[in-house]
Amino acid sequence: MGMLRRVGKGLGALVGIAAAAIVTKFYVLSPRSRPAPQMIAPKDEATIKRGEYLAKHVYACMGCHSEVHEDLPGEPLVEDKLGVGRDFGPIPSFPGRIRARNLTSDAQAGIGAWSDGEIARAMREGIAKNGRPLFPIMPYPTYAKTMSDDDALAVVAFLRTLPASKNDPGPMEIDFPLRMFARAIPKPLERPAPPPPATGIERGKWLLDACSCTECHTTKDDHFQPLPGMYLAGGNEFPIRGKGSVYVANITSDKETGIGAWTDDEVLAAIKTGVSKTKTNRALYAMPWPHYGGMTDDDLHWLVVALRQVPAVNHKVDAAKLTL
């Protein structure tokens, strides 16, 4: 019996040490953060216009942070509800409830009381004004690699022009233990991303990341982690509220299961108008083509050129399961 007691005490001590280590890692040492940088967004019209282009059509911030027409393919924006935030509603396969913050200039519900540096830090480092870590469905790890200081401040300059709205979609809700693990993801920006390439295939590769093509189309496991060798191979499920689910396409250069057999015009049609070569009688729902379709012809061209360079992955994606 004495031996059993000693073993029990030893196991209890190990459990206590493990629990203390977990608390320290995720609630003392995480999230990693730094004071918001001192940054001031320009207020000239050219910078605001560039920020609008980035926020609407490249980073597509407005697609998540605005009210949209959920009953229409591609969920186009409600134009007088830009940046007011969004409650995505219950999503059966998601461990929580997605709500995107109000980004208007309202001081309480929005970001009117945030400094320009605090907004830039949230976009690229995943830390809110109050120090709260952001869940990485907000793709700040991607923006840390793709969003230069100038582009971050251009987006801020545009956000400052959005009329104040008191709409409050509520807080993001993430189930335990995922919300605990997510605390370890934010990290301070070691150095800002370089200015993006202005043109050429490098511009297209930058757009693949900046537009979050990789976030949606790279095949993920049950823990939302990318699977090795499945870059842009598709298959991730996207529930459409009240309609069922769609599965994002394989957009690698594979001719059988990807877009290798599509013409450039057919790829452009999918991006700009939501018409899929493989589903000619059904518009694309989850693909936010109303946003990306607003990119310049030059950006769209180089995006398609970059897609053509993606290695083929033979991965057949399930058909959509929609009740239309």
**Residue boundaries of the structural domains of the chain:** 45-182, 201-322
pLDDT of 17 over the 70 cut: no
Sheet holding 173-174, edge to edge: 86-90, 96-100, 173-174
Per residue in 128-176, pLDDT (tens digit) is 999 999 999 899 999 999 999 999 999 999 999 999 999 999 999 989 8
Contact status, residue 272 vs residue 264, Cβ threshold 8 Å: no
Q: How far is the C-alpha of 264 from the C-alpha of 93, rounded, in Å?
A: 34
Residue type, 200: G
Computed over every residue of the chain, the mean pLDDT equals 88
Q: Which residue has the tokens 């001719």?
A: 255
Q: How far is the C-alpha of 302 from the C-alpha of 112, rounded, in Å?
A: 36
Q: How confident is the model at residue 42 (pLDDT cuts 50, 70, 90)?
A: very high
Q: How do strand 321-322 and strand 244-247 relate by DSSP bridges?
A: antiparallel
pLDDT of 324 over the 50 cut: no
Q: Which two tokens stand for residue 281?
A: 């009688």
Q: How many helices (H) and strands (E) does the chain have?
A: 12, 6
Residue type, 6: R
pLDDT winner (highest mean) among 10-14, 47-51, 212-216, 281-285: 47-51
Q: Which residues contact 67 (CB under 8 A, 6 or more apart)?
A: 77, 78, 81, 84, 86
pLDDT of 89 over the 70 cut: yes
Of the chain, the percentage scoring pLDDT greater than 70 comes to: 86
pLDDT of 116 over the 80 cut: yes
Sheet holding 237-240, edge to edge: 237-240, 244-247, 321-322
pLDDT at 318: 76
**pTM beyond 0.75:** yes
Q: Which two tokens stand for residue 217?
A: 């189309």
pLDDT at 323: 42
Q: How confident is the model at residue 320 (pLDDT cuts 50, 70, 90)?
A: low
Per residue in 177-231, pLDDT (tens digit) is 888 888 889 999 999 999 999 999 999 999 999 999 998 899 988 777 889 999 9
Q: How far is the C-alpha of 218 from the C-alpha of 208, rounded, in Å?
A: 11
pLDDT at 18: 56
